[in-house]
């Protein structure tokens, strides 16, 4: 199965100088979301109120634009632009995980359709941060367990070969 592509909403708190998008946004929520998507592997993008769909490696300047400040018509136009960008970047059957509030999800809902999941839907910001922290911790535990299993296999394999 294809790994899902993660879409992460931008946040207001940013570095004061240009930076790669994946590191420009500085809120605790965004850092946790970035760690979560990194633990999942696969591609991810940022849903930027100013730039639309942004790969985390793209260098961008700090800005102060939010979808909350836009009119409904401006948000619809943003959604159309982002949907077109998404269609260029993501295959039609690729699953999508959206880590963003309703203002960012609704304008792209027709593009995302049934292939999108919103794991934190309905959670407040504190609950979202707790959910992200739990997911990151579980991913690290799985990674540590896999590393221990690999080490055990290596020791067992090499030990068995030396006995031959």
pLDDT digits (tens, 9 = 90+) for 91-101: 889 999 999 99
Quick check: 56 pLDDT over 70? Answer: yes
Q: In what order do the strands lie in the sheet with 96-99?
A: 52-54, 44-48, 5-9, 96-99, 116-117
Contact status, residue 53 vs residue 89, Cβ threshold 8 Å = yes
Q: What is the mean predicted confidence (pLDDT) over 40-47?
A: 94
Q: What is the mean predicted confidence (pLDDT) over 123-141?
A: 92
Structure tokens at 70: 């836009």
Please tell me the pTM assigned to this model: 0.85
Contact status, residue 93 vs residue 2, Cβ threshold 8 Å = yes
Quick check: 162 pLDDT over 70? Answer: no
Percent of the chain with pLDDT over 70: 87
Taking CB atoms within 8 Å and a gap of at least 24, the contacts of 120-127 are 125/29
Mean pLDDT, rounded, of the chain:
90
Confidence category of residue 2, pLDDT binned at 50, 70, 90: confident
Contact status, residue 16 vs residue 62, Cβ threshold 8 Å = yes
For 66, phi and psi rounded to 5 degrees? -130, 155
Q: What is the mean predicted confidence (pLDDT) over 37-46?
A: 93
Quick check: 159 pLDDT over 60? Answer: no
Confidence category of residue 142, pLDDT binned at 50, 70, 90: confident
């Amino acid at each position: 199965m294809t790994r899902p592509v993660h879409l992460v909403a931008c946040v207001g708190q940013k570095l004061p100088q240009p930076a790669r998008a994946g590191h420009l946004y500085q809120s605790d929520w965004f850092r946790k979301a970035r760690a979560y998507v990194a633990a999942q592997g696969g591609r991810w993008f940022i849903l930027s109120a100013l730039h639309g769909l942004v790969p985390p490696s793209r260098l961008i300047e700090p800005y102060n634009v939010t979808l909350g400040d836009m009119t409904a018509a401006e948000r619809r136009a943003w959604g159309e632009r982002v949907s077109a960008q998404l269609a260029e970047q993501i295959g039609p059957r690729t699953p999508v995980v959206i880590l963003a509030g309703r203002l960012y999800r609704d304008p792209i809902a027709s593009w995302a359709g049934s292939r999108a999941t919103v794991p934190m839907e309905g959670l407040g910001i504190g609950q979202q941060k707790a959910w992200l922290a739990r997911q990151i911790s579980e991913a690290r535990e799985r990674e540590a367990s896999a590393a221990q299993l690999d080490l055990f296999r290596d020791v067992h394999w090499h030990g068995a070969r030396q006995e031959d």
